[in-house]
Amino acid sequence: FDYFSPGHLWLSPTGILSFWFLWFTPVLLHPQCLDFKPPFRPLRELEFCVMYKEFGCCDFQKDQELMSKYYQIMDNFDYYGYANCAGFVQELLCQECSPYAAHLYDAEDPSTPIRSIPGLCPDYCAHFWKKCNSTFPFLSDDPHITKVQHDQTRLCRYLELDDTDYCYPHILSNQQLTQNLGRVQSDSDGCLQLCLEEVANGLRNPLAMVHANDGTHRFFVAEQVGLVWTYLPDRSKLERPFLNITKAVLTSSWEGDERGFLGLIFHPMYKYNGKLYVYYSVEVGFDERIRISEFRVSSNDMNMVDHSSERVILEIDEPASNHNGGQLLFGDDGYLYIFTGDGGMAGDPFGKYGNAQNKSALLGKVLRIDVDDNNRGPLYRIPSDNPFIHERGARPEVYAYGVRNMWRCSVDRGDPRTKEGKGRIFCGDVGQNKFEEIDIIEKGRNYGWRAKEGFSCYDKKLCANSSLDDVLPIYAYPHKMGKSVTGGYVYRGCEYPNLNGMYIFGDFMSGRLMSLKEDRYTGQWRYNEICMGMGLTCAFPGLINNYHQYIISFAEDEAGELYFMSTGIPSATSPSGVVYKVVDPSRRAPPRQCHYDPVPVRVKSNLIKFIPQETLIGVEPPSKTKPEVQPTDSYDWLQELIDRLGELGPDPTTAAPTTTTTRQPKNSRRKGRRRKGKSRTETVPELQNGAVRLVGDDQGRNDRGRVEIYINGEWGTVCDDLWSTNNAAVVCRQLGFRHALKAAKNSEFGEGKDLRILLDDVQCEGTESSLLDCKHAGVGVHNCAHYEDAGVICGNSDYIVEV
């Protein structure tokens, strides 16, 4: 969180509360198993389908099932049949283990009947038919195969795939599909292609998600206003909040207010002592402070805090409203770490050297205290090995200093096998004018602020001081990439082995997702940007490839899987926050390896079932019902859909309506790419209610015009009564533009006299999918004339034209 420092200015004009982006990146690979999940490396070596023992879609149990089926089939043949056909039968059965099994069996779309025999290349099919025609009835119970079994041409046409790249066995020799199989995919710029899963939504600036480490696998999400919600492993939410201190928390609805409920952590022994700690802003008289308090869970309800149990551990005066820090962590040493900001304003102007370099101040520091055994006596003690306990004038709580505003820190769990890296504390420290940085916190070290910002000097006089002895960040990036770092986590989960050891973080302002990976031999950290996978990369059930721009925080669940929280409107009162789980579509852990049994949770509150709101974009496979092959030309539905969307306005490089990722716009069209499966006669997708178009610009420009909307089979106009930049933003994003530059009124782009007026008194918040989702007088209900027809000017620049 850092909105106010010089260099951190951002546009938030009236009506434009958020903007989302979509960048298209071409992706060729889409390995997928028949259970609609990514392939994996089997834990136990396969004995039958050995060609897929390193990577594929079968574990040892499935391999044994296929071997049993193989012997059942081959028992029907004499020696001659066995000698000629055993190899063919084994190859075909084992394609269920192929990393591309979903393609081979035409199972990418769950509504399509799965093939009983994998898609075969014509030459291979012809050879198989000539030698082993008699095996088909034993391999498949498909009546059509039985019908055409003795007609090679008809049979092989039925078994072929439209996309010859994916047919067996040509797929094995396709280097584009096999050379990087099982690795995290990246585009030509090295941007890693990952996907997301929506976990929670409707949250107001969700800035912390933590678990209690008590075996229940619940997760707790904190909102900036001072509410903490309980979520069960099935993602249902308890109706009653776990914690509610909204009356005590100091914050506002003002976009960018950094005050509020900022941090939450459970005691490592929470399962036994029921203690948790919170970090929040308060107002005492005319003073603003940060407060760190201890609470206990209720003795009557494991899903509710005893609000009367609060004990204030520490309070620190805040001279300004920004740079409030907010992170609480328990280190591997069992001590509580507190991360404070430098006090706010710009340039740490407090005192001769600023708060951050002043060890007698608690601001701009990493503090470490002992909160164990505090039921009697002092609320906290100073660890005996804290670095400055013997330094005159220094606060004994100080563990490290010289930090500006560390926003989100995490403790590395260490490699699951070797425990390498265990206990390291990573932090993102928000910069001033030029750089954002990532640090690893070490005892007694100086992290340079205000002398340095990133690797460069900020205060040249302090920077030249030979006694500075500061530790440099492991990575810093300039403000052209982002202006407010959000620290993340080193991935140590079970489900996605390729991500192990990767530090994943983001930027609040730019919406950029990033990663660092340490070179074990040189100690250097290698940077890769993270993009949302496009094309078919994220075409798995439940996955999406877009997110809201403002990345507030990252999180880890009890099993070590990685999440982040972002919002479309950075206000403590806007319910546009979403929690996303990070997913690697290129490889998963073997089945059952990551299984756990949560401890039962006794629930006394009503449950709110989780309903996902986000959707996959860029791919919308049509419904298919006919299982029978027809000898027609292949229909390229994706190209047809892109062409239809192109008729609505922006060129192919324009950002799409409702999403955020991290790359420059690229053309989403994948050259020569077709759906893999049999040809089927299909129709062009129909226009949906709420579709819009722009008409009436004298120069024919597609980024401006009179707004016409499609409702119930007809096009009509929209009146400009209450027409605002919010309304225009909905239209522009729907057409694929990043911003609304102007909400035009008084028929600036002509009158649509030949059409009915379909909408009037439209009032949008700016986040809706279409004007129909906004408040309005009703379809066809109006009190206006065509000289009030509304229009818009859309664009991708960062400047807004006020009406």
Name the 3-class secondary structure at 597.
Answer: coil
Task: Name every residue whose Cβ is closer than 8 Å to that of residue 438 and which is 6 or more positions away in sequence.
Answer: 426, 427, 428, 429, 473, 474, 475, 476, 485, 487, 503, 505, 516
- Residue range 435-447, pLDDT digits in tens: 999 999 999 999 9
Q: Which residues pair with 795 in a beta bridge?
A: 739
- Residue range 33-55, pLDDT digits in tens: 999 999 999 999 999 999 999 99
Confirm whether 768 is domain-assigned.
Answer: yes
Task: Verify that 308 and 427 share a domain, yes or no.
Answer: yes
Structure confidence at residue 165 (pLDDT): 82
List b or e across 505-543, with b for residues whose CB sees 16 or more CB atoms inside 10 angstroms: bbbbbbbbbbbbbbeeeeeebeebbbbbbbbbbbbbeeb
Peptide bond into 122 cis (omega under 30): no
**DSSP one-letter code for 497:** G
Q: With CA atoms as reference, report the closest residue to 229 among 241, 247, 217.
A: 241
The model carries a pTM of 0.75
Confirm whether 670 is domain-assigned.
Answer: no
User: 739 lies in which domain range?
Assistant: 691-795
672 Rama sector, left if φ>0, alpha if ψ -120 to 50, beta otherwise? left
**DSSP one-letter code for 522:** T
**Contact between residue 725 and residue 741 where contact means Cβ atoms under 8 Å apart:** no
**CA dihedral sign of residues 303, 304, 310, 314:** positive
**Contact between residue 310 and residue 277 where contact means Cβ atoms under 8 Å apart:** no
Task: Verify that 309 and 452 share a domain, yes or no.
Answer: yes
Q: What does the alpha-carbon distance between residue 634 and residue 679 come to, in Å, rounded to a whole number?
A: 5
**Burial of residue 81 (number of CB atoms within 10 Å: 0-12, 13-18, 19+):** middle
Task: Name every residue whose Cβ is closer than 8 Å to that of residue 384 and which is 6 or more positions away in sequence.
Answer: none
Structure confidence at residue 800 (pLDDT): 40
pLDDT level of residue 417 (50, 70, 90 thresholds): very high
**Contact between residue 723 and residue 775 where contact means Cβ atoms under 8 Å apart:** no
Task: Verify that 299 and 382 share a domain, yes or no.
Answer: yes
Task: Verify that 486 and 584 share a domain, yes or no.
Answer: yes
* DSSP, residue by residue, 292-329: EEEEEE-SS-TTSEEEEEEEEEEEEEESSSS----EEE
Name the 3-class secondary structure at 227.
Answer: strand
Share of the chain above pLDDT 90, in %: 73
Confirm whether 685 is domain-assigned.
Answer: no
Confirm whether 43 is domain-assigned.
Answer: no
Q: What does the alpha-carbon distance between residue 791 and residue 803 come to, in Å, rounded to a whole number?
A: 12
Which amino acid does the sequence have at 208? Answer: A
Structure confidence at residue 559 (pLDDT): 97
What CATH number has the domain bearing residue 562? 2.120.10.30
Residue found by looking up tokens 């440099």 in the block: 472
Question: Average pLDDT, stretch 342-361?
Answer: 94
Question: Average pLDDT, stretch 630-654?
Answer: 41
Task: Verify that 445 and 384 share a domain, yes or no.
Answer: yes
Higher pLDDT: 96 or 667? It is 96
Domain termination residue (choose one: 569, 584, 608): 608
Task: Verify that 288 and 436 share a domain, yes or no.
Answer: yes
pLDDT level of residue 2 (50, 70, 90 thresholds): very low
Question: Average pLDDT, stretch 389-414?
Answer: 98
Task: Verify that 704 and 570 share a domain, yes or no.
Answer: no
Q: Is pLDDT above 90 for 5?
A: no
**Contact between residue 476 and residue 437 where contact means Cβ atoms under 8 Å apart:** yes
First-residue to last-residue Cα distance in the chain: 30
Confirm whether 178 is domain-assigned.
Answer: no
Structure confidence at residue 790 (pLDDT): 94
Confirm whether 740 is domain-assigned.
Answer: yes
Name the 3-class secondary structure at 731.
Answer: helix
- Residue range 710-753, pLDDT digits in tens: 999 899 999 998 999 899 999 988 888 888 888 999 899 999 99
Domain termination residue (choose one: 575, 608, 641): 608
- Residue range 242-300, pLDDT digits in tens: 999 999 999 999 988 999 999 999 999 999 999 999 999 999 998 999 999 999 999 99
Confirm whether 214 is domain-assigned.
Answer: yes
Angle, vertex CA 191, rays to CA 510 and CA 798, nearest 5 = 25
Task: Verify that 413 and 484 share a domain, yes or no.
Answer: yes
What CATH number has the domain bearing residue 772? 3.10.250.10
Q: With CA atoms as reference, report the closest residue to 761 among 740, 787, 781, 785.
A: 781
Task: Verify that 152 and 200 share a domain, yes or no.
Answer: no
Q: Is pLDDT above 70 for 680?
A: no
Q: Is pLDDT above 50 for 632?
A: no
pLDDT level of residue 797 (50, 70, 90 thresholds): low
Task: Verify that 225 and 289 share a domain, yes or no.
Answer: yes
Task: Verify that 240 and 155 share a domain, yes or no.
Answer: no
Confirm whether 184 is domain-assigned.
Answer: no
pLDDT level of residue 9 (50, 70, 90 thresholds): very low
Other CB atoms closer than 10 Å to residue 206's CB: what's the count?
Answer: 25
% helix, strand, coil for the chain, step of 5: 15, 25, 60
Distances (CA, A) of 733 to 456, 542, 645, 657: 39, 24, 13, 4
Q: What does the alpha-carbon distance between residue 772 and residue 689 come to, in Å, rounded to a whole number?
A: 8
Task: Verify that 493 and 582 share a domain, yes or no.
Answer: yes
Mean pLDDT of the chain: 87
- Count of domains in the chain? 3
Domain termination residue (choose one: 592, 608, 624): 608
Report the range out of 561-575, 695-709, 775-789 with the highest average pLDDT.
561-575
Strand 435-441 relative to strand 475-478: parallel, antiparallel, unpaired? Answer: antiparallel
Residue found by looking up tokens 């609060």 in the block: 310
Residue found by looking up tokens 């904190």 in the block: 222
Distances (CA, A) of 669 to 164, 496, 632, 639, 738: 19, 29, 23, 7, 20
Question: Average pLDDT, stretch 305-329?
Answer: 96
* DSSP, residue by residue, 27-73: -------TTSS--B--SS--SS-GGGSSSBS--HHHHHHHHHHHHHH
Q: Where are the beta strands (DSSP E) in 522-658?
A: 525-532, 550-556, 562-567, 577-583, 607-608
Q: Is pLDDT above 50 for 1?
A: no
Helix (H) or strand (E) holding 741: strand 739-744
- Residue range 198-218, pLDDT digits in tens: 999 999 999 999 999 999 999
Question: Average pLDDT, stretch 73-77?
Answer: 94
pLDDT level of residue 620 (50, 70, 90 thresholds): low
Structure confidence at residue 111 (pLDDT): 66
pLDDT level of residue 109 (50, 70, 90 thresholds): low
The answer to which of 158-167, 288-297, 609-618, 630-639 has the lowest mean pLDDT is 630-639
Question: Average pLDDT, stretch 306-311?
Answer: 98
Question: Average pLDDT, stretch 766-786?
Answer: 91
